[in-house]
Amino acid sequence: MAALVAAGSALPATPALAVNAPHTTVVSADPANWTPHALDGTVYRILQIGNRVYLAGSFTKVRNAGTTAELAMPRLVAFDATTGRIDTTFRPVVNGTVRALAASADGKSLYVGGAFTSVNGAAAPRVARIDAATGARVAGFAPATLNNQVNDMRLVGGRLIVGGAFQTVAGVTRRGLAALNATTGAADASVNLRLDGPRTTATGVTAPVKVEALDVSADGTRLIFVGNFSTVAGQTRHQLAVAGLTAAGATLSGWATDRYQPGCSSSFPSYLRGVDISPDGNWFVAVTTGYMYTGRLCDAAARFEFGAATGGKQPTWVNYTGGDTLLSVAITGAAVYVGGHQRWLDNPYGRNSAGAGAVSRPGIGAIHPVTGKALAWNPTKDRGVGTAELYATDRGLFVGSDTVTVAGEYHARVAFFPLP
């Protein structure tokens, strides 16, 4: 019987959700005590498959809650979703930062993306597929070479859609956004939206085309991506674009907004940092860095409706931080959770200060999905560089970052807020 239980626990029961889990209420402000600790670096991505949770990032050491023993398990680690105990049988060896995760359709393996070039001693140019129980490479998956890092990914049918800073895939130009065959890893030419037009600030600062973040609707028919570009498929799209997904490939949608055309800080050309589609697939929220400019969507969270695929879209609401970066967003239906190194929300009049009506929400906060105003939920969090990841499951909300204090308690770089 023990052998059967061990064998059953080695394989996840179900794959991960395609979008953040819907909730009927806001999560508790008291984080669970059982989550493990990442002792250095940053947790950039969190994914749950069955009863196993995966952390990905730049960390090199971890330890279990309530213990002092440090475990050298760099960049990718798994733990039990109920007890929080680190799974020491999951031991992939990745030679660089991991920034993206996606579950296979059967939940038995996962795709990883980032800045690495090898996994378990074999070449893996920024993408790999590994066994979900052991971390061993999955036979037959030989990814096409990407010449720079992957920032985000989603599995849609037989395609693995990847976004990042790469400019070529298998030596062919594919700036920022591409697809790989989910079984073989070969380049899939059906997703070729031709991102171009790297942005330039008023002072001449520019950077290569890239995708910072992307998301796919739960039904797999809609793709949204944000990053450093001005045109997509030959059409004007400033930092944000929507595409339709079919068996034939990806087609640019007519949905467009010019609200991200103006610049923000003179230090960086693009300022969109995160995007998430609502569980019902009808709307999304984008979050930004930037600076304080009246009328611009800098340092803010903005809700947009998909609606008709037309241009000139305007946000339903905007919630400003008053001068601080937002990096991550997760929509659960009951709330829009946002994270970064912000000090405030509801702060349209702040200029690196608390303006009239501002509310303190350090590091993490929640916004009412309809009104766009900050909810009372305020666990507080060390700010640091910022909250890099927000990931909702059917049991609560995971948070990943580069800091160690949440709700006044020690939770190094990962915390979990359960549903009440």
Distance CA(414)–CA(416), nearest Å, equals 7
Over the stretch 347-383, which tens digit does the pLDDT of each residue have? 999 999 999 999 999 999 999 999 999 999 999 999 9
Short-list 161, 164, 129, CA closest to 149: 164
**Alpha helix (H) ranges present in 2-142?**
2-10
- Amino acid in position 268: F
Report the pLDDT value the prediction gives residue 13, as an integer from 0 to 100.
Answer: 39
Domain ranges, ordered by start, for the chain: 35-146
Low-confidence residues of the chain: pLDDT under 50: 1-15
Q: What is the pLDDT of residue 19?
A: 77
Return the pLDDT at 12. 39
**DSSP summary character for residue 5:** H
pLDDT at res. 17: 54
Neighbours of 315 (CB within 10 A): 18
- How far is residue 72's CA from residue 296's CA, in Å, rounded to a whole number? 44
pLDDT of 6 reads 33
For 49, phi then psi, to 5°, come to: -130, 115
Instruction: Identify the pLDDT of residue 41.
Output: 98
Say what the pLDDT of residue 264 is: 94
Residue 294: partners with Cβ closer than 8 Å, 6 or more residues away: none
Q: Does domain 35-146 have CATH number 2.130.10.10?
A: yes
Q: What are phi and psi of 7, to 5 degrees?
A: -65, -40
The per-residue pLDDT for 8 is: 33
Q: Which 3 state secondary structure label does DSSP give 56?
A: strand
Which pLDDT score, from 0 to 100, does residue 50 have? 95
Say what the pLDDT of residue 18 is.
60
